[in-house]
Amino acid sequence: MPINSEIPAHPERSIVLVGLMGAGKTAIGKRLAAQLGLPFYDADHEIERAAGMTIAEIFRTHGEAYFRAGEKRVIERLLGGGRIVLAPGGGAFMDPETRRTIRDHATSIWLRCPLPVLLQRVQGRTHRPLLNTSDPAETLARLSAERSPIYAQADIIVDGTEDPLHVTTSNVINALKSYQAPHRVGVQLSQNNYDVLIGPNLLKRAGTLLAPLVPQPRCIIITDENVAKLHLTTLQYSLVETGIAHSTLTVPPGEPSKTLQTWQYLVESLLEQKVDRHTTVIALGGGVVGDLAGFAAATTLRGLPFVQIPTTLLSQVDSSVGGKTGVNTARGKNLAGAFHQPLMVIADTASLHTLPQRELRNGYAEIVKSALIGDAAFYDWCEAHGAAMLNGGDALMAEAITRTVRFKASVVAGDEREAKPNNGRALLNLGHTFAHALEAETGYGSALLHGEAVATGLVLATHLSAHLKLCPQEDVSRIASHITQAGLPSRIANLNADHLLAHMKQDKKMRDGKLTFILTKGIGRAFTCNEVPEDALRATLVANGAI
């Protein structure tokens, strides 16, 4: 069934219109192609031309399975050429391989129409094999119920009505202009890979993004009370739209929930809902929710599929990527946990608009940390653009998140389970030994947020590096100045030095009784140091505000 049409090459993506018969795919597609200056193809017409018979004749002679196989080949060939507008048959998008081909090469648009409008348009059309029944209305209603959850996986949904075709075409063009494809960062691991998607309004499309990935159309959402008020309904609607059944477990907000008791509650609740190993757990919230939900998913039935939907800047750039999950204990932070990689991370930058400025600054510390570890040019970018980003620069925010996630993904890919003690993933702990001690001393609460502790830890790690003559002295003042200008703490708030040292000795990065730190040889040149003298450490603490 090959077609020898020439399709001009174009670097941009094609456009595929999907929907039930009667939705106007061909009529609108022709108008759309004319306005965009692109070739238009009707997949059914191409199939008929190649086969030398009508669609109805192909169905009668060879059956639907034969037709679908040929349809798949035609769509693959057409989309493999250049940029086009394509109107496939109503059933084409139902095939998983065809959907994958469309996702790889095109932006898909579902022309969603009310059933009465569709029925009016298709009645009496004998060339529609699936409508050649005694009750076309019942058939159309059944097809709509079956196909709508799959059509909802399209990139864009445009509602069609009885309006003239040029009105719907204008609506399609406007939807294309406003559509922003998410940034996609791949995390490549030894046994499984996943994508981190970054962009605005992705929560509204979560069902579309997850439907091809989840092992079965059932999930359990784990969130906290604050996030539920802001974002849960949006997520639930997107799951309903794509036919994914769901229920929700809610925990109190904040670090005090990150305990073995809360973890036990979640595991018991998951089991009570009779989950099986194909039930996906979705973490909707910040780092606390992500760590809790991930640990519950990792340990229930020895591992449930897991998705991260981080709603804070800190969790979008840090805890949601890399598969670390866990809870705090009385002896320290994250001392009970597991590595459990997600199926996908969906970082909706629009969700950051609901955050107070303090929370944005909290996440910004991790962005600065990534730059200080291994990207001096990115640190220069932070100094130049960090303030504008924190003051509402959406494009800058998306760029910063993408660059940070890309850096972390490259590190995690080389050291998935933190098995390399002197390089790789361990470098991501720059400032964290200090930060965890500060958090432990202040009680893991609102007095000092994690990112705030990390910000101070970055200054302390640089000061210690300079004290040991490992990095230039001017790095200390430069980094402290930037941290302060970002509204983050750069000094210890009169905490006891002996207490902080005691917390550090409980840190899980202790090796053979020796304190291990990530230090720097300059901005963008972090390394692991296993021989840090305690007197140098104490001197750094005292010089930066400890008593």
* Beta pairing class for 332-339 and 324-329: antiparallel
| Mean pLDDT on 331-357 | 94
pLDDT of residue 124: 58
Q: How far is Cα 446 from Cα 413, in angstroms, rounded to an integer?
A: 33
| Mean pLDDT on 408-436 | 88
Classify burial at 490, counting beta carbons within 10 Å of its beta carbon; exposed 0-12, middle 13-18, buried 19 or more: buried
Which of 230, 242, 327 is closest to 285 using CA atoms? Answer: 230
| Mean pLDDT on 289-307 | 98
| E strand or H helix that includes residue 394 | helix 394-414
Neighbouring-strand partners of residue 85: 15, 40
Tell me how far CA of residue 537 lies from CA of 160, 452, 472, 542, in angstroms: 67, 20, 18, 9
| Mean pLDDT on 30-46 | 95
The SS3 call for residue 348 is: strand
Contact status, residue 308 vs residue 285, Cβ threshold 8 Å: no
The SS3 call for residue 432 is: helix
Contact status, residue 198 vs residue 401, Cβ threshold 8 Å: yes
Does residue 104 register a pLDDT over 70?
A: yes
Does residue 127 register a pLDDT over 70?
A: no
Domains and CATH numbers, the chain: 14-178 (3.40.50.300), 183-355 (3.40.50.1970), 414-543 (1.20.1090.10)
| E strand or H helix that includes residue 399 | helix 394-414
| Mean pLDDT on 92-113 | 95
pLDDT of residue 120: 84
The SS3 call for residue 246 is: strand
Q: How far is Cα 190 from Cα 416, in angstroms, rounded to an integer?
A: 8
pLDDT of residue 446: 74
pLDDT of residue 507: 72
Q: How far is Cα 404 from Cα 200, in angstroms, rounded to an integer?
A: 17
Residues contacting residue 305 through CB under 8 Å, at least 6 positions apart: 214, 215, 278, 279, 280, 281, 297, 343
pLDDT of residue 4: 31
Task: Give per-residue pLDDT as tens, 460-483.
Answer: 999 999 999 999 999 999 999 999
pLDDT of residue 3: 32
Give the angle 142-147-152 at the CA atoms, nearest 5°: 140
Q: Per-residue confidence at 509, pLDDT binned at 50, 70, 90?
A: low
Percent of the chain past pLDDT 90, that is, above it, reads 77
DSSP string, 504-544: HHTSTT-BTTB--EEEESSTT-EEEES---HHHHHHHHHHT
* Token digits of residue 119: 């029925």
Secondary structure percentages of the chain, helix, strand, coil, to 5: 55, 15, 30
Residues contacting residue 15 through CB under 8 Å, at least 6 positions apart: 32, 36, 38, 84, 85, 86, 106, 107, 108, 109, 176
Does residue 1 register a pLDDT over 70?
A: no
Tell me how far CA of residue 254 lies from CA of 285, 291, 306, in angstroms: 10, 12, 21
Residues contacting residue 316 through CB under 8 Å, at least 6 positions apart: 198, 310, 347, 349, 352, 363, 401, 405
pTM: 0.86
Looking from the CA of 92 toward its CB, the CA atoms found within 13 Å total 29
| Mean pLDDT on 160-174 | 88
Q: Per-residue confidence at 6, pLDDT binned at 50, 70, 90?
A: very low
Q: Per-residue confidence at 171, pLDDT binned at 50, 70, 90?
A: very high
Residue 395 CB: number of other CB atoms within 10 A? 11
pLDDT of residue 486: 96
Q: How far is Cα 417 from Cα 428, in angstroms, rounded to an integer?
A: 12
Buried b (16+ CB within 10 A) or exposed e, 171-203: bbeeebeeeeebbebebebeeeebbbbbbbebb
Neighbouring-strand partners of residue 488: none
Q: What is the mean pLDDT of the chain?
A: 91
Does residue 129 register a pLDDT over 70?
A: no
DSSP state, residue 373:
H
Tell me how far CA of residue 469 lies from CA of 112, 135, 137, in angstroms: 66, 84, 80
Does residue 196 register a pLDDT over 50?
A: yes
| Mean pLDDT on 130-146 | 79
Find how far residue 387's CA is from the centre of its chain. 24
Residue 120 CB: number of other CB atoms within 10 A? 11
Maximum mean pLDDT: which of 96-105, 503-512, 513-522: 96-105
Q: How far is Cα 546 from Cα 526, in angstroms, rounded to an integer?
A: 24
Contact status, residue 1 vs residue 68, Cβ threshold 8 Å: no
The SS3 call for residue 296 is: helix
Which of 516, 519, 424 is closest to 471 using CA atoms? Answer: 519
